[in-house]
Amino acid sequence: MPKRSQSSQRWLKEHFSDPYVKKAQAEGLRSRAAYKLEELVERDRLLRPGMVVVDLGAAPGGWSQWVRQALGDSGRVIALDILEMPALAGVEFLHGDFREDEVLSQLEASLGQTQVDLVLSDMAPNMSGMDSVDLPRAMHLAELAMDFGDRHLRIGGNFLIKLFQGVGFDDYVRELRRRYDKVAIRKPAASRKRSPEVYALAQGRRAQMK
């Protein structure tokens, strides 16, 4: 049996010693990512009973699980991912690639005429380790998520998305500022320090872009 590489051994050691991993396991949450969302949402009080929330890039379900618990029995949580996700009570899951028109149409059909209060996007491409490849792929997903918000977020609605700093980042944030009243860049405590990810929180979708 081949030996694990030093990098994979280091990752496993870091993962299983991670306090957020241990906390998620103890509290029955599907992933440590739930604590990123918890900090981001509670700081700005983004959730209210009865909200319609769309979670893009949802698998394994940590964000959807946390939102469903926070909303209680009210509202709707619609999750989508290219990966399979085990069922969560009270969460509507669509399995498919958000980049495909057919999958987007299925998501839009499930919404019907309902406007969305909060769009969450934790989407990321499969990382190759090459910025010249990974960043454009990540930015493409981010642009698709922003387009979805343009079409389906209610006026005054909010948009929270994971971004990777690099080429295209500043232009993307500039576009968010045209669309929303307030935009902040956050790095939650549960986000690993060595990770280039940050979260853009855009609040108050405008009726018209600047």
Active site residues: 162
Q: Do the annotations mark residue 147 as ligand-binding?
A: no
* Per-residue tokens: 1: 């049996």
Ligand-binding annotation for 66, yes or no, is: no
DSSP assignment of 138-194: HHHHHHHHHHHHHHHEEEEEEEEEEEESSTTHHHHHHHHHHHEEEEEEE--TTS-TT
AA letter at 110:
S
> Which candidate, 93, 51, 55, places its Cα nearest to that of 70?
51
Give the distance from CA 147 to its chain's centroid: 15
131 marked as part of a ligand binding site: no
- Is 81 annotated among the ligand-binding residues? yes
> 63 labelled as ligand-binding?
yes
For residue 201, the surrounding DSSP H or E stretch is strand 197-205
Give the annotated binding-site residues for S-adenosyl-L-methionine: 61, 63, 81, 97, 122
Annotated binding site: 61, 63, 81, 97, 122
